[in-house]
Chain A
Amino acid sequence: MRSILPLQLRDVSFAAREKTIIDRVSLELAAGPRTVVLGANGAGKSVLMRLMHGLLSPTSGSVHWSGGEPARRQAMVFQRPVMLRRSALANVVYALRLAGSSGSQEVAMEALAKVGLAQLAHRPARVLSGGEQQRLALARAWALKPEVLFLDEPTASLDPSARQAIEAAIGTIHAEGTKIVMVTHNLGQARRLGDEVLFVHQGRLVERSPVDRFFKQPGSVEAEAFIKGELPWI
């Protein structure tokens, strides 16, 4: 199967109600490194990710995947997982069926086991805790064996132990060969999980650099101000 990567954005802009939210962003995402999208609230990170994932269409510019069936080969995990009123297992099976895969029960169980939810497979998904639901969302995405996994602030509403479980699972998913693209405003998380940083400011892609360099020597005043603002003790 041909890879859907690299993903190319050319001069992508997005406006809603006359307001420009994403302003002429061009970039290329290749397989491999974990990409973290950083920026202040309202900078346009989430919108940028939705444009990449295809949930939004650019007002101008183009989003181009390289090959195959891009819609089937990518998945997204949202800040607040939306679970269907059925068992945890059935939620994963539902996603698999939509993706056109058969024999999905075992695949679904395997995905649940990977995030430590095998015991809860037959529980109704909506009565699971927030952290469990987010792990279930990861399992649901993982079961699809996506080439690219988008994550929009996946741990923003979770407590530290739930956050750790999610971060560990993301690490494993990446180790199995899935490209990770994650939006976060948690700089610690960006350092732990990121290989490279895309820094977004007022709808523009201001800086792109390896994670170490981004924090040590940010290449733009906006990024420097953002890091200082978020981590005033540095």
Chain B
Amino acid sequence: MRPDPMQDIAASFAGAAALIASGDPTLWAIVLLSLKVSLSAVLLATVLGLPLGAAIAVERFPGRRAVIVLLNALMGLPPVVVGLVVYLMLSRAGPLGSLGLLFTPGAMVVAQTILILPIIAALCRQAVEDAWMEYEEQLRSLGAHGARAAATLLWDIRFSLFTAVLAGLGRALAEVGAVMIVGGNIDGVTRVMTTTIALETSKGDLPLALSLGVVLMALVLALNAAVYGVKEAGQRRYG
């Protein structure tokens, strides 16, 4: 007799709940690695992306429009393509093969950084440019130009930029293609939440896959709530 699919789903959920409640070390190791990789990528992409976005917003240079269109288009980079390119770069024969990064969490951080850098830079560029409309005359009158003006604007709209960083974080935590290719999904080394979900689903271990899915969504929700709270408080205080 064929199993009842509804019963199957119910059993999977029950299994997932039990797994989460049990504090299974394998599960939490995977969760922790996911967080480490994606938060590192967000940190790097923020450090690089915010100044890049602000510079493009404030500076006038030939080809600026093309750069903006390109940057916006890169927000839609397919993770597998980024994974493939980083794989080629980091593989033994590749130009950065000597670093020995392939199939390590480091490679996963590199891939995710490349993936979300355009998101953070493009959203930042838009936010800074909108602010520049309001601030330009005042800042130029005070003598703030170029990098100084860009830095002032970044700091002044810091609460709006939280949204850009959150978009990057969401993308990094959710993607599977890039980390799968450059990390290799090695058990206990480079296995993160999304790659485990993909693998366990194909193997049929639905409770583990589902429990990771639940943890992943809860984490994303909690991080968004926390950042939103900080942003609200900041905006209320500074106007």
Q: Which residues of A contact B (CB under 8 A)?
A: 50, 53, 55, 71-72, 75-76, 78, 81-82, 84-86, 94-95, 98-99, 124-127, 140
Contacts and interface: CB of A to CB of B under 8 A. Distances in A.
B135 A82 contact: yes
Contacts of A76: 141
B143 A127 contact: no
A98 B142 contact: yes
B156 A85 contact: yes
A162 B140 CA distance: 26
Interface residues of B, number: 20
A53 B141 contact: yes
Given A82-B135, A127-B239, A99 B156 contact: no
A163 to B, nearest CB: 21
A125 B143 CA distance: 20
A84 B156 contact: yes
Interface string B137-157: 111111110001000100111
Given A84-B156, A124-B237, A140-B142, 15 more contacts: A50-B137, A53-B141, A55-B137, A72-B143, A76-B141, A78-B138, A82-B134, A82-B138, A85-B239, A95-B142, A98-B148, A99-B142, A124-B239, A127-B238, A127-B239
A124 B143 contact: no
B interface: dominant SS: helix
A71 B142 CA distance: 9
A94 B135 CA distance: 14
A78 B136 CA distance: 12
Given A82-B134, A82-B135, A98-B148, A55 B141 contact: yes
Q: Which 9 A-B pairs have the closest CB atoms?
A: A126-B239, A82-B138, A85-B238, A127-B239, A124-B238, A76-B141, A98-B143, A85-B156, A95-B142
Contact of A84 (B137, B143, B152): B152
Interface string B150-191: 001001111100000000000000000000000000000000
A76 B141 CA distance: 7
B144 A78 contact: no
Contacts of A55: 137, 140-141
B70 to A, nearest CB: 28
